[in-house]
Amino acid sequence: MQELKERIVKEGKVLPGNIVKVDGFLNHRVDPKLMDHIADEFKKYFDVDDITLVLTAEASGIALSAICAGKWNVPMIYAKKAKSDNIEGGLLKSEIYSYTYKKKVTQLLSQEWISPDDKVLIIDDFMANGEAIRGLTDLVAQSGAELKGIGVAVEKGFQKGGDRLRDMGLNYHALAVIDQADENGFVFREDDPYLYE
């Protein structure tokens, strides 16, 4: 998605350790118009008329997922990182390792809001190693629902999370795959081998 790549080049930052910051438009300060365009782009890759639910992880994927779900007229749910007193009934749980927080995290989803009849599209804003997505696919499997696909706005391709999903044969698509990010700029997969500056 060219518009997304251009925003990454213009506003994204690379911090030490190849940390890519896109929090000025994607996951801290949010550009709703860009999110709307991302939802339109995902519709090119997924049959959104055949889904009943959008699923994401707490917290940075919520904004994008909510805009997508609203545009496609289906509910959105997100896996929580901690049990709150207002979650009733059975809980689905998946253990993941959070590279952001450098610790194990338990993703929690109330069985009240996902059923074997659901057709689920996982949407997330950003993926590196793919642990959050792996946990979400595990939650879908536990629920008995059908996983229809996985859409990610930005993938750090050099960390191989997306490649693992592709190798598993999942219906996975990322709109901007960064294969290199350093002080020289960004290289996107499927682009000519030059750096954006």
The answer to whether residue 16 is domain-embedded is yes
Residue 74's beta-bridge partner residues? none
Instruction: Return the CATH number at 51.
Output: 3.40.50.2020
The answer to whether residue 81 is domain-embedded is yes
Looking at per-residue pLDDT, the higher value among 82 and 195 belongs to 82
Token pair of 111 as six digits:
């069985």
Residue 188's beta-bridge partner residues? 178
| The predicted structure's pLDDT at residue 196 | 46
Kindly report the pTM of this predicted structure.
0.92
- Three-state DSSP at 48 gives helix
- Which regions of 73-188 does DSSP assign to beta strands (E)? 76-79, 91-98, 103-110, 119-127, 146-156, 172-182, 185-188
The answer to whether residue 194 is domain-embedded is no
The answer to whether residue 196 is domain-embedded is no
Residue 150's beta-bridge partner residues? 122, 172
Residue 15: C-alpha distances to residues 104, 138, 151 (Å): 23, 31, 25
pLDDT digits (tens, 9 = 90+) for 58-117: 989 999 999 999 999 999 999 998 766 556 568 999 999 887 778 899 999 999 999 999
The answer to whether residue 41 is domain-embedded is yes
The answer to whether residue 197 is domain-embedded is no
The answer to whether residue 142 is domain-embedded is yes
Token pair of 11 as six digits:
């506003």
pLDDT digits (tens, 9 = 90+) for 89-105: 689 999 998 877 788 99
CA atoms of 22 and 132, how far apart (whole Å): 18
Domain that holds residue 109: 2-188
The answer to whether residue 195 is domain-embedded is no
Count how many domains the chain has: 1
